[in-house]
Structure 1
Amino acid sequence: MWISTIPYDEAEGELRAHYDRQARALGEPTEMTMAGSLHPALVAARLDLYAATEKCPSRLTPHQRNLISFVTSAINGTVHCMSQVTIKLRQTGLDDEAIAKLAADPDCFESLGLSPADTAMVRYASKLTRSPASVTEADVEELRAAGFDDLDIIDANSQCAHLN
């Protein structure tokens, strides 16, 4: 990290409470959380955003959420995020060979035998990560044609955004 942060073991008061909140879920605060440590309200806002995203009442399946998270993280080269999602992908049915292929080449999703809906969603997350300004109404219409409604699409955007 290139900026000063307050380590978990030195955090006090409000910041410590926020760190503890994330540690209860993940075992320890993430590097991204500690990046906001000089302004505890920022840490709280980020954690609230994560919680709101995770509780969105869309119809996205856990598998779709994990695919979005994994592909976004793979494109960005954030190995720590990929490692967290790998276990969840296994639990939702993606085998180790497919996970390894996706990690090595996030664009290989077309060849993994995913459902048409999953493929459309991963294609969208990939485009949103690589070139957000190039997303058009046609991309949203492709998702609708694959069976997603607007809340599903907003949820996918949020999943992707908090990993970008």
Structure 2
Amino acid sequence: MSWIKIISFNEAEGKLKKLYQKVTGPNNNVDNIMLVHGLRPHTMVGHMALYKNVLHNSNNTLPKWYLETIGVYVSLLNNCEYCVEHHFTGLQRLLGDATKANQIRKGLETHKPEIALDEKFSQGLKYAEKLTLTPSEIVKADVEKLQQSGITDGEILEINQVVSYFNYANRTVLGLGVSTSGDILGLSPNSSEDDNWNHQ
């Protein structure tokens, strides 16, 4: 489950128990990426606030399935199987089209998102790739390509923040040996309210 000590839902007390209760899924399941914060609960507060606002805020205008697609691609680039499987399952659920989801995954795995997505969404993923692999090489022209493909500046910010979040999440998982053992894949917050973290 992790290379460091995990405090389970049943073992948790006080503030940690209350935080776990906020992120539970069915049968009080807490994803391992959240459990790994148990020794420093304040870091889970920061993690969930970032995750919730970047991916599940009603003020975002890009489709939620596309934001999940960005997360899957960043996680593939970082070889983070945990996040790939969690968020690909979420992507499938949000799309409601297994064939389309599998086409998207094939495009991501071959670094050819254009085989499944239009120019606008493909350009966003190319930006995500460069920002993940060679961030210091990002230049103004990369943002201008996004603008020219029809992505608004607010949406560029959304993409940037999803890419940044997943690089953080991937390094949390990979750096602490977090596995999917015991997790229920593909759950996400069922409300866009900032303080509702419950997973369904």
TM-score (norm 1): 0.84
CA distance in 2, matches of 1:44, 1:161: 17
The match for 1:119 among 92, 116, 122 is 122
> Is the 8 Å Cα contact of residues 74 and 163 (structure 2) preserved in structure 1?
yes
1:5 alignment partner in structure 2: 6
Q: 1:38 to 1:135 in 2, by over 3 A?
A: same
Question: 1:139: how far off?
Answer: 1.0
CA distance in 2, matches of 1:68, 1:49: 16
Q: How do 1:1-164 and structure 2 match up within 5 A?
A: 1-24=2-25, 28-53=29-54, 54-55=56-57, 57-90=59-92, 91-92=94-95, 93=97, 95=100, 97-102=102-107, 105-110=109-114, 112-164=115-167
Question: 1:142: how far off?
Answer: 0.8
AA aligned opposite 2:91: L
- CA offsets per residue over residues 77-99 of structure 1, 9 Å max, x none? 22222222223333425625424
AA aligned opposite 2:166: L
Question: 1:59: how far off?
Answer: 2.0
AA aligned opposite 2:113: F
Q: 1:41 to 1:106 in 2, by over 3 A?
A: farther
> Is the 8 Å Cα contact of residues 104 and 117 (structure 2) preserved in structure 1?
no
AA aligned opposite 2:136: A
CA distance in 2, matches of 1:63, 1:119: 14
Gaps of 5+ in 2: 168-200
CA distance in 2, matches of 1:158, 1:25: 29
> Is the 8 Å Cα contact of residues 9 and 28 (structure 2) preserved in structure 1?
no
- CA offsets per residue over residues 32-62 of structure 1, 9 Å max, x none? 3223221111111111111121206232112
> Is the 8 Å Cα contact of residues 73 and 81 (structure 1) preserved in structure 2?
yes
Question: How many residues are matched?
Answer: 162
RMSD: 2.4
Moved more, 142-151 or 2-11: 2-11
CA distance in 1, matches of 2:152, 2:105: 30
Q: 1:67 to 1:163 in 2, by over 3 A?
A: same
Greater relative contact order (CA < 8 Å, ≥ 6 in sequence): 2
AA aligned opposite 1:143: L
User: Which has the larger share of helix?
Assistant: 1
